[in-house]
Amino acid sequence: MAKEKKFPKHIAMIMDGNGRWATNRGKSRVFGHNAGMKAMKNIVKHCGDIGLEYLTVYAFSTENWKRSQEEVSGIFGLLIKYIDSELASLHKNNVRVNILGDFSIMEDAVKNRLEKTIELTKNNSGLIFNIALNYGSRAEILMAAKSLAFDYKNNLLKGDDINEEEFSKRLFTGILDIPDPDLVIRTSGEIRLSNFLMWQLAYSEMAFTDTLWPDFKPEELDEIIQDYMYRERRFGGRL
């Protein structure tokens, strides 16, 4: 019989299906991302209300640069719109915002807003909302490997000290002290991870729903959490 589990501490989400949602309505992909942004806003609010500690969303991957110029600049335009309209309320709701990924390469209009968001919310103690932007798990894993190699070469670390904990500390999540997700949710019916948190999701529960991201509602999230709480987690061992 399945044992009841605790409420998850950290949920990760792959917000997929904005493009299909828009195509189904004869609209542009950016129209779909705009609807996706609204869905994300509702989910963030809900996660704060239910007392979730960490929410991580995959907003833009290292591979997403391959999309058309129109779509890429549309997504970043929405990010600017999101920050300009939501930052005050995120801060008021005690949300701390982090970015996972290298955003130093982004244009000033984006970079400056992200820096301001991180700075303003850094002491907030409510929901920790991590936005993966220009994020790729393989690049992140390589970054950690290079950092270990550097420290080893410079005698800051002995071979025996290289372990999972040392490695984890050098990932974006480790640098920010974010625990591994308990649960990852992907919308839109695709069953894959797409280079998202591949180290951190090693033991996470996975939930896949056919709902396209713009249609994903807090009620469905609550159902997935309920389902998660009744699943067993063994971490490779036996119960």
Q: Which residue is nearest to ligand FPP (CB)?
A: 19
Report 185-204 residues binding ligand FPP (CB under 6 A). 188
Residue 17 as a binder of ligand FPP (CB under 6 A): the answer is yes
Is there a catalytic annotation at residue 42?
no
The span from the CA of 10 to the CA of 204, in Å, is 10
Residue with tokens 């335009």, as numbered in its chain: 77
Among 8, 36, 101, 181, binds ligand FPP (CB under 6 A): 36
Among 10, 12, 18, 117, binds ligand FPP (CB under 6 A): 18
- 64 is an interface residue for ligand FPP by CB under 6 A: yes
Six-digit token pair at 98?
Answer: 């982090």
CA distance 142 to 221: 33
DSSP strand pairing (183-186 vs 205-208): parallel
**CA nearest neighbour of 195 among 146, 126, 139:** 139
Segment contacting ligand FPP by CB under 6 A, of 1-9, 36-44, 114-122, 155-163: 36-44
Has 84 been annotated as catalytic? no
Selected range binding ligand FPP among 29-37, 117-125, 147-155, 218-226, rule: CB under 6 A? 29-37
Tokens of 205: 């529960």
Q: Which of 15, 90, 114, 224 binds ligand FPP (CB under 6 A)?
A: 15
Q: Is 79 in the site for ligand FPP (CB under 6 A)?
A: yes
Q: Are 177 and 205 in contact (CB under 8 A)?
A: no
Q: What share of the chain is helix, strand, coil (3-state, %, to 5)?
A: 45, 15, 40
101 lines the binding site for ligand FPP (CB under 6 A): no
Residue 59's CB is within 10 A of a number of other CB atoms, namely 25
Q: How far is the CB of 218 from ligand FPP (least distance, A)?
A: 15
Pair of tokens at residue 184: 């990852």
Q: Does 20 bind ligand FPP (CB under 6 A)?
A: yes
> Where do contacts with ligand FPP occur on this chain (CB under 6 A)?
15-20, 33, 36-37, 40, 59, 64, 75, 78-79, 82, 131, 188, 213
